[in-house]
Amino acid sequence: MADEAKAKGNAAFSAGNFEDAIRHFTAAIELAPKNHVLYSNRSAAYASLHQYAEALTDAEKTVELKPDWAKGFSRLGAAHMGLHHYEDAVSSYKKGLAIDPNNEALKSGLADVEYAASRSRGAPPSSSSPFGDIFSGTEMWSKLTADPTTRLFLQQPDFVKMMQDIQKNPSNLNSYLKDQRVMQALGVLLNMKIQTPNSTEGMDIPDRKRPAESEPAKAEEREAEPEPMEVPEEERETKERKAQAQKEKEAGNAAYKKKDFETAIERYTKAIELDDEDISFLTNRAAVYLEMGKVY
């Protein structure tokens, strides 16, 4: 009977019906209260609903029942991170890695929480998102208005609605990461350059006044082409790394579309190693983990 309820919970979780999953896992736990996997699965369902306090309680029970199971510490780390208990999250991931040093989920979770902790130092977290503080107050709208690109986005009702939704609950950011306008806005708010080559492609953006591109260039202008400059070795290497990082990201995107999440994570992680200035690699990897939400 417990296995039947567990199977129903797994099916509901896979379908994104997290409340139903919690109900089924709870029923299974009542029948098999010593089964650590059931608490682990319910913890994942709670975390998917951003109910991190409940996720933490179940993760702690998982570790109590099965202290040598690395996955339990992954659940524990995720719950602590959701609650902004960064030191506890780091400790949890490290304990899991002591059990399973090659666990990619634990290694990536540790990297993500350390990044989130570094971003939040000096200011108390304001939400369940590591980026929550950048969406608070009127400063967000001021920054978006000041930037020439995002200022245009503010003329689009659907974009404004998305940003209002994120401002209301920063955890909703994960729902909009595929929208290139949101990624562009995130870069502006974080004062980071996020490369979004197709960010304006296909969008209903008001026409801007452009130079008369159709007019033929004057003869003297055509002849005054600058001489090619030598690029310093260090700069050339940086450009090459960034280019390679973009290729890794594209490979990760392709794997993600095929639901090959493990490969997607591997590619995004490689992109981060090559170029740690582009936050889109990190947010893409976080989105994969959110969708994976493995249950057993």
pLDDT at 203: 36
Mean pLDDT of 241-255: 86
Q: Which domains does the chain have, with CATH numbers?
A: 2-121 (1.25.40.10), 138-190 (no CATH), 234-292 (1.25.40.10)
More confident residue, 166 or 194: 166
Q: Where are the alpha helices (DSSP H) in 83-133?
A: 86-99, 104-120
- pLDDT digit string, tens, across residues 78-118: 999 888 898 999 999 999 999 999 888 888 788 878 877 77
Q: How confident is the model at residue 221 (pLDDT cuts 50, 70, 90)?
A: very low
pLDDT at 284: 73
User: How far, in Å, CA of 57 to CA of 45, rounded?
Assistant: 12
Task: Give one word for 226, left, alpha or beta, with left for phi > 0 and alpha for psi -120 to 50.
Answer: beta
Whether the predicted pLDDT of 262 surpasses 60: yes
pLDDT at 192: 64
For position 96, what pLDDT does the model report?
Answer: 93
Confidence of residue 76 (pLDDT cuts 50, 70, 90): very high
pLDDT number for residue 35: 95
The mean pLDDT value for 12-36 works out to 93
Flag whether pLDDT at 228 surpasses 80: no
DSSP count for the chain of H helices, then E strands: 15, 0
Residue range 271-287: average pLDDT? 73
Could you tell me if residue 132 is left (phi over 0), alpha (psi between -120 and 50 degrees) or otherwise beta? alpha
pLDDT recorded at residue 204: 37
